[in-house]
């Protein structure tokens, strides 16, 4: 059974930074494409970053240059470094593997507000 536990969300001022972590259980981590997603109130879940098993990264234009995804295969953990945060980044952030193939975790709340 694959499970994800996200952490690191907080209240931060515009322009600030946060680092999110996602611990994954199961034996799929090292061979999977891992992704971060977010869901703002009243909106659909959207993709914000992904990293393949060999380290190739991709981001949508909305976060490119501000967010950085990384992974530690030895610890089954994926990270999301978020810089220059904006109020529109406020959302619950989730991770998942292989383009959202597995059951979603509880997520971690990021609130960007002054």
DSSP code string of 22-87: EEE-SS-GGGS-EEEEEE-TTS--EEEEEE-TT--EE--TTTTTTEEEEEEGGGTEEEEEE-S--G
Chain Cα centroid distance, residue 14: 19
- How confident is the model at residue 109, as a pLDDT? 98
| Residues paired with residue 7 on neighbouring β-strands, in sequence order | 21
- How confident is the model at residue 45, as a pLDDT? 97
- How confident is the model at residue 17, as a pLDDT? 98
- How confident is the model at residue 26, as a pLDDT? 81
Residues counted in the chain: 114
- How confident is the model at residue 28, as a pLDDT? 83
Over the chain (114 residues), the average pLDDT of each successive run of 10 is 95 98 90 96 96 96 98 95 98 94 96 97
């Amino acid at each position: 059974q694959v499970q994800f536990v996200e952490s690191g969300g907080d209240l931060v001022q515009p322009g600030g930074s946060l680092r999110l972590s996602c611990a994954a259980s199961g034996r799929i981590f090292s061979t999977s494409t891992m992704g971060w997603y977010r869901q703002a109130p009243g909106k659909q879940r959207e993709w914000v970053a992904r990293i393949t098993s060999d380290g190739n990264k991709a981001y949508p234009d909305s976060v490119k240059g501000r967010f950085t995804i990384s992974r530690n295969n030895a610890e089954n953990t994926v990270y999301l470094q978020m810089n220059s945060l904006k109020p529109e980044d406020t959302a619950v952030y989730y991770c998942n593997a292989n383009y959202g193939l597995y059951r979603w975790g509880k997520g971690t709340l990021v609130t960007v507000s002054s």
